[in-house]
Amino acid sequence: MKRFRHRDRKRLYADANITPLVDACLVLLIIFMISSPFIINQTVNIALPRTLSASAMNERDELSIYAVYDAESRTTVISIGNDKNLKHDQVRSIIKERLAGQKSRNVRIFSDGNVPMKKIIELTDIVLSTGGKIQIVTEYGETGDN
């Protein structure tokens, strides 16, 4: 009778094969690297008016309204957060909703330098009528062309 020897047996390896995991991670990394420029470039550039009396702004969870003049369509686009191209009654309802339970009732208005003054006054009227306090955001610097 033939005896089984220990060295004749094949050794079993209990190591995990991580090659498919590394492949999947590299594919995901490549996908995120390719798609990241599209995610980053979705911001709106606003040329804020410049004043010499601008002061530093504290970062808090305050409501921000963005008013940008679209030269192509010659209209002012108003947005709050992810809500874009809002009408005045929509702006009023969003402000009322967001200020309802907040301690700070400050509302920041970021306005492009090309937005007509009439639109800014309409926005300030909406904010004041809903019980908010207005902060119009500007940049520090010499007045003139932005």
Q: Tell me what pLDDT residue 23 has.
A: 95
Q: Tell me what pLDDT residue 108 has.
A: 85
CA distance 97 to 131: 11
The token pair at 112 is 């492009």
Is residue 107 in a domain?
yes
The token pair at 61 is 């969870």
pLDDT in tens, 12-50: 777 788 999 999 999 999 998 888 877 765 555 666 666
Residue closest to 65 by CA, chosen among 78, 75, 77: 78
The token pair at 124 is 């300030």
What's the distance, CA 97 to chain centroid? Answer: 20
Q: How many domains does the chain have?
A: 2
- Together in a domain, 36 and 58: no
Query: Reduced to 3 states, what is the DSSP secondary structure of residue 78?
Result: strand
- Together in a domain, 79 and 135: yes
- Together in a domain, 127 and 61: yes
- Together in a domain, 99 and 125: yes
Is residue 145 in a domain?
no
Look at the pTM and tell me if it is higher than 0.75: no
Residues of the chain with pLDDT under 50: 146
Is residue 146 in a domain?
no
- Together in a domain, 83 and 109: yes
The CATH code of the domain that includes 64 is 3.30.420.270
- Together in a domain, 19 and 56: no
Query: Reduced to 3 states, what is the DSSP secondary structure of residue 63?
Result: strand
- Together in a domain, 86 and 125: yes
What residue numbers bound the domain in which 17 lies? Answer: 6-40
Is residue 27 in a domain?
yes
Is residue 45 in a domain?
no
Angle at 75 between CA 74 and CA 78, to 5 degrees: 150
- Together in a domain, 80 and 131: yes
